[in-house]
Structure formats: structure tokens, C-alpha cells
Amino acid sequence: MTVTTTETRLSYDADGVTKNFPFPYKFFEANDLLVYTFDEATETSTLLVLNVDYTVTGAGLPNGGEVVTTVAPADALTLVIVNDPDIVQEFDYVNADDFPAESHEAALDRLTKICQRLSDRIDRCVSVEDASPEAPPTLADVEQISEEAQASADAAAASAAAAQATADQIEADATQTATDAANAAVASATADAVAAKDAAETAATNADASKTSAQTSATNAANSATAASTSAGTAQTAATNAANSATAADNSATAADVAKIVWRGLWSGATSYEVNDAVSLNGSSYIAKLAHTGASPPNPTYWDLMAAKGADGAAGSGAGDMLRANNLSDVLNPDLSLQNLNVENWYLAKAGTANPAAPGTAAPGSAVLFARQDHVHPTQDLSALAPLASPVFTGDPKAPTPATADDDTSIATTAFVKAQGYGAAVPPATAAPVMDGTAAVGVATKYAREDHVHPTDTSRAAASAIPVAATAAEYTANSAPTKMLTPGAAWSAAAPLAVGPVANYAPDFNAAIDHDWTINSATGALNNGTNLKVGQKGVIYIRQDGTGGRAITTWGSQFKFPGGTKPTLTTAASSVDAISYAVLSSSFIACTFNADFK
């Protein structure tokens, strides 16, 4: 065959169902095909094992075959088939033999497939442009480029870390500045208040010391107290303003942080979370530290706690203001309380105390208590039940009646049997059976007896009259002219008779039709043959032995050549000549010579 395609690999997107994957290009052996599954998500591949994970059909066929996987590949995978023949040459050419065209072409096909596989491997390698005058990089060059790229990546990561550190420092400095301003305002207000107090105390002392100007001192003291009160108010206002400034600065910092949070609601194992995504779970809230999917809080690798759930309060005693009028009476009885509150399925809140019943008739049940997860039903007494495999029925068992003429593994009831007519009385046949002929179902309403006999078919020959087949030897010698010739005997007789190496040869025309004589003498002789049969035709091949230089110097008188000229043999070692012959009489064999078959 010719190889008209360059394809050496095929890929299929798996769907979790398909197991048959065609490979419509010729491959020589089942193990020539390599089969992989490739996971794009992880960029990993798995080499499957022949006759374990998959089987192959169509090896050696021109149009290929298919790969059949044991289990259908998963939906997310890609199945890849690669033709990877062994790099071997298995054909042996025999010297001086017929040219093996098909074997030679098969060897060329294999060589082409090997070249295609090598081309496929080369195409998947890193290379330079075909027109580039530059030599391709060495492994050392590639390693150096990889190291330089890694160094660049490390430098970029360091720069990013430094930028983040600078941003964190700026934020910390801003917070510290706001805090310092607030502290300074509070300190200033406190100092003003202390000074006002000292002034009031000094005024009071002057009033006690100066009796004569008591009214004036008292007035001054009152004025000083008023001033102190005013100063204290001023100090309080300054402190309030400073506190407000600190609160505003803190709110600004909090707002900056809050702006980064993305609330995602209740945590779900199927959701992909990014950094600063916030969720709630079991009463607490968490913020994501790393992008991920499926890691449940409070896993500290992926989550930071934002707000923890508070502790539950102590259990109540039932006393207090929970009144029957509020539909909350008897709180010490949970069942009754839930009934009073008209809570749907209130009874599911309490486990059952009775043992489960044995299997019986299916029913939804009416119990108001739930069954625990680890409940156990009692072992059923199976002695009264029939086994699924080969049950033995007693009494009068019933079964559905199949449709008339049904032909499957259904149970044949008595109604079905009667419908088929098997129960009716059928009389035996009275007419003799007919001779064999064209097959027919028949329309007779009587049955044939067990010992009936069909008449002998006189239109056919008896087995004893069939002619006996001749053997290949009988055919070649014409010793059994009345026997039948079979293709097998004819082909056996067609095989050349190998002779030699000998110097002289006298053909026995009863022994073979074609003769293959290896001559080993420079003075050989082709002598007259025996058992000649008029009309017999064939070929006498004359081979030189491994030395060569052999010749026929003596010819039998029976062998006649055109013009009466005897041929000259090719003398090269192992060369082959041929004499085609036809027997015209017991003394005349017409011959033609063909030299040096190559």
C-alpha cells in the first residue's frame, strides 16, 4: 500500500461515556499505539496499559482500527493516541529468490511510519527557525535562560513586597499622626483645666486674708470661679474635638480596611474564594487569607477570624414571665411547648425509644418520633422465603401469561400452553414422508411419528459412486487416470523437485513437472529423461552452486533447441537459468532457454 497521510497522532475529548476511539491509519502491531489521558486542569498525562486499560483492533489493516478503553475516560480528560512503531527492520531478503514486492513495500511502509513518528517528536521540541543561520541553543544555554528568567521573577516579587511594605508603613504613620494629635489636644485641655483650678484656689485664699475687702474679694472670687468654669468648658470642648478627630481618623482607617472586604454570605464548599472574601459559618465570621476552594473555616491556613460567635446563655428553669396566655406554658416539656407554638414537624425533635420492627409490608408509618442513624432492624427469618436462585414452589403458584407465540425466557403458564394448541389431541400422520427438497414450515395438522423414514433421493449419486481423489504423485505420473483431480493435489504437483548439487541429471518425468537442479561440475551432463508423457510441459531450472563456473558439456539426444544449438549456462556463482520444455514424443523434447534470472 501507499502511505498518503502524515498523521501519527489523534486526540479525543472524553465525555465519560464513549469507550471506542477510531484510529483510521495503518499500524503494524497493537503495541505500536501509545494511549494517554491528559488532564488540562493539572497539565498531567497518564500512559494507559495495553490489555489492561484498553484493547486494540485493526493491527496491520490498511484503514487502521480503533482503541477500546476498559472504562470510559472522565469528562474532563483528553484521550491521545500516538502511532509509535518499534525502530526495527524485520525483513530478510534471500539471495537469488523471487523479488518479494509485498514484503518490500511493507518494509517501506514501516520505515515511513517510523520517519513520521520521528518527525512528530522533533516538531514537539524547542527549535530555531528553519531559515535562521544561528545554531540552535544547547542545553546549557536553555538552563542559563531559565535561571535568568527565575532571577527576574524573584526580583519582581521582591519589588512587589517592598512596595507593599512601603504602603503599610504609610498607613501606620498616618494612624500614628492622628493618635498623636488627639493625645496633644487632650493634654492641652487638661492643662487649661488645672490652671483654672489653681486660679480659683488663689482667689479664695486672698478673700480670707483681706477681711476689709471681703465683698470685693468675694466678687473677685466669684469672677475667678466663673472664669475657671468657662476655662473648664473650653477644655472639655477641646477634648471633645480631639476625641472626634481621633474617631474620624480611626473611622477613616477602618473604612480603608472595610473597603477591601467582599462579603460572600454563608460559606459553601463549592465556591471559589479570593483574598479578603468574608463568610459566615456556625455563628462566626471569617475573612480569606489565600485564594482557594473547599477549605472550611476555621482552617487557619486559609481563614482569619473576624468576629466569633458569643457564648450561649445558661439553660432556663422554666420560671419567669413565660405565661400560658403567651402560648409558652410548660416550657419544661419541649414536646408540649412546640405543640403550643404550632411548630411544623415538632415531633422530629425527639428520638424513638422502641426497637425497629422486622421487614414487612411497606408503609409510611405514623410514629411521632424519629429513628436514630445507627438503628438496627432485627434479623429476618428467611426459612419461610424462597431463594432467588432456583426457587421451589409448592401449592398453586401463579404467573403472568405471556402473549401467544412468545419466544423468550418468560414462564409458560397452562393458559399459554393451551393457547399454543399443545393441549389439543393431535392425530398421527398416515401419509408416508416426502423426499427431501426445498425447506418449508408445512401446514399439516398431524404429527410425524418418531420412527418415520424419508424415501431415498434417487436424483443423487450414491456415496460409493463419488470418484476418489488422486494424489499429487498419481497426477504427475498419470498413474490413476480415472481418479478426480483436486486443487490440493494440483498445487502439490506444481512444486519443483529439488535435485543436487550433482554433476549429471536424468529427469524422471513421473517424479515432477518442474525440476530444480543445482549443478556442481564444469563438465556436467543433462541426460535423457525417463517416463516421458506426450503433452507434458514444465521447466528445468539449472542453478550454479556457490562456486560458479559450472557448465553442461553433454546433452541427451531427446533435448531439441531452436536451430539445433545447445545453450551456454550463466557461470556466475548462484545464478539461475531455465529450460522450458514440452514433450512431443518419447524421443523429442522441444526446449527453449532463458538465461540469468535476477
In whole angstroms, give the CA distance from residue 322 to residue 56: 79
Exposure class string for 404-425: b at 16+ Cβ within 10 A, else e? eeeeeeeeeeeebeebeeeeee
What average pLDDT is seen over the chain? 81
- Helix, strand, or coil here: 590? strand
pTM of structure: 0.29
- Helix, strand, or coil here: 508? strand
Residue 34 burial (10 A CB sphere; 0-12, 13-18, 19+): middle
In whole angstroms, give the CA distance from residue 129 to residue 125: 12
Q: Which residue has the cell 493516541?
A: 81
Residue 285 has pLDDT above 50, yes or no: yes
| Tens-place pLDDT, residues 468-505 | 899 999 999 999 998 999 999 999 999 999 999 999 99
| Tens-place pLDDT, residues 157-181 | 787 677 687 767 766 665 575 456 5
- Helix, strand, or coil here: 258? helix
Alpha helices in 428-584 (DSSP H): 472-477, 487-494
Note the pLDDT of residue 237: 53
148, amino acid identity: E
Confidence of residue 196 (pLDDT cuts 50, 70, 90): very low
Q: On the CB side of 126, how many CA atoms lie within 13 Å of its CA?
A: 7
| Tens-place pLDDT, residues 328-355 | 445 556 566 656 655 545 444 577 888 8
Under 8 Å between Cβ of 73 and 80: no
Note the pLDDT of residue 149: 79
Residue 319 has pLDDT above 90, yes or no: no
Q: Select from 221, 193, 229, 223 the least CA-distant residue to 205.
A: 221
Residue 205 has pLDDT above 70, yes or no: no
Under 8 Å between Cβ of 417 and 411: no
Note the pLDDT of residue 440: 86
| Tens-place pLDDT, residues 429-452 | 888 888 877 888 888 878 888 899
Answer whether 262-306 and 472-594 agree in fold. Answer: no
472-594: in CATH 2.60.120 = yes
Confidence of residue 246 (pLDDT cuts 50, 70, 90): very low
| Tens-place pLDDT, residues 62-120 | 899 999 999 999 999 999 999 999 998 887 888 878 888 877 888 888 888 899 888 88
In whole angstroms, give the CA distance from residue 285 to residue 556: 117
Q: What is the CA radius of gyration of the chain?
A: 56
Q: Which residue has the cell 519589588?
A: 159
Residue 598 has pLDDT above 70, yes or no: yes
In terms of DSSP bridges, do strands 552-555 and 524-526 run parallel, antiparallel, or are they unpaired? Answer: parallel
Q: Which CATH number fits domain 262-306: 2.10.10.20, 2.60.40.1220, 1.10.150.20, 3.30.465.10?
A: 2.10.10.20
| Tens-place pLDDT, residues 115-161 | 988 888 887 877 777 777 777 777 777 788 878 878 887 887 787 67
Residue 189 has pLDDT above 60, yes or no: no
Note the pLDDT of residue 290: 95
- Could you give the angle at which helices 214-258 and 139-209 cross, rounded to 10 degrees? 170
Could you tell me the residue ranges of all domains in the chain? Answer: 9-123, 172-258, 262-306, 472-594
Average pLDDT over residues 34-59: 96
Note the pLDDT of residue 371: 85
Residue 249 has pLDDT above 70, yes or no: no
Average pLDDT over residues 343-372: 74
Note the pLDDT of residue 201: 62
In terms of DSSP bridges, do strands 65-69 and 272-273 run parallel, antiparallel, or are they unpaired? Answer: unpaired
Residue 587 has pLDDT above 90, yes or no: yes
| Tens-place pLDDT, residues 497-554 | 999 999 999 999 999 999 999 999 999 999 999 999 999 999 999 999 999 999 999 9
In whole angstroms, give the CA distance from residue 475 to residue 80: 59
In whole angstroms, give the CA distance from residue 448 to residue 421: 16
Measured CA distances, 542 to 506, 538, 566, 581 (Å): 13, 13, 14, 13
Residue 224 has pLDDT above 60, yes or no: no
In whole angstroms, give the CA distance from residue 281 to residue 297: 7
DSSP 50: B
Under 8 Å between Cβ of 428 and 447: yes
Residue 561 has pLDDT above 90, yes or no: yes
**Strand order in 497-502's β-sheet?**
497-502, 515-519, 537-544, 576-585, 588-594, 559-560
Note the pLDDT of residue 242: 45
Tally of residues, the chain: 598
In whole angstroms, give the CA distance from residue 208 to residue 222: 14
Under 8 Å between Cβ of 577 and 596: yes
Residue 192 has pLDDT above 60, yes or no: no
Under 8 Å between Cβ of 86 and 25: no
In whole angstroms, give the CA distance from residue 295 to residue 302: 7
